[in-house]
């Protein structure tokens, strides 16, 4: 398998790491949509939320990591957005499940 996010989590491609534990890796997005924009991924390859199953217990750890990262980056009090895009029509450009944690400014919906 040739997966960009798997290579990042394995340390084969450099990233600006924000968080790591046994199941989850998080790093700064290279095209941030806010002052804070972190991608949170499971280390286990899962194509998208649609492909996740009950055996994928790392999903809860991703949410726990998001809370901790938000607190550490100072957006837990003012608010932040967690987004996962599922499929190309939703804007998923990398076929590896990931959460976008975006904050640090007031956020609006464009659509």
Residues annotated as part of the active site: 98
In a 13 Å sphere around the CA of 73, the CA atoms on its Cβ side amount to: 25
Helix runs in 40-96, H state only: 58-72
Residue (of 68, 61, 62) closest to 83 by Cα position = 62
Sheet architecture: strand order including 36-42? 17-20, 24-28, 36-42, 99-103, 80-83
């Amino acid at each position: 398998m040739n997966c960009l996010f798997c290579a990042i989590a394995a340390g084969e491609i450099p990233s600006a790491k924000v968080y790591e534990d046994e199941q989850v890796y998080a790093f700064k997005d290279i095209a941030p949509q806010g002052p804070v924009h972190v991608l949170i991924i499971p280390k286990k390859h899962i194509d998208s939320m649609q492909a996740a199953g009950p055996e994928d217990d790392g999903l809860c750890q991703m949410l726990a990591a998001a809370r901790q990262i938000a607190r550490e980056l100072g957006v837990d009090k003012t608010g932040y957005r967690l987004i996962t895009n599922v499929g190309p029509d939703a804007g998923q450009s990398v076929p590896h499940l990931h959460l976008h944690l975006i904050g640090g400014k007031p956020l609006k919906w464009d659509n």
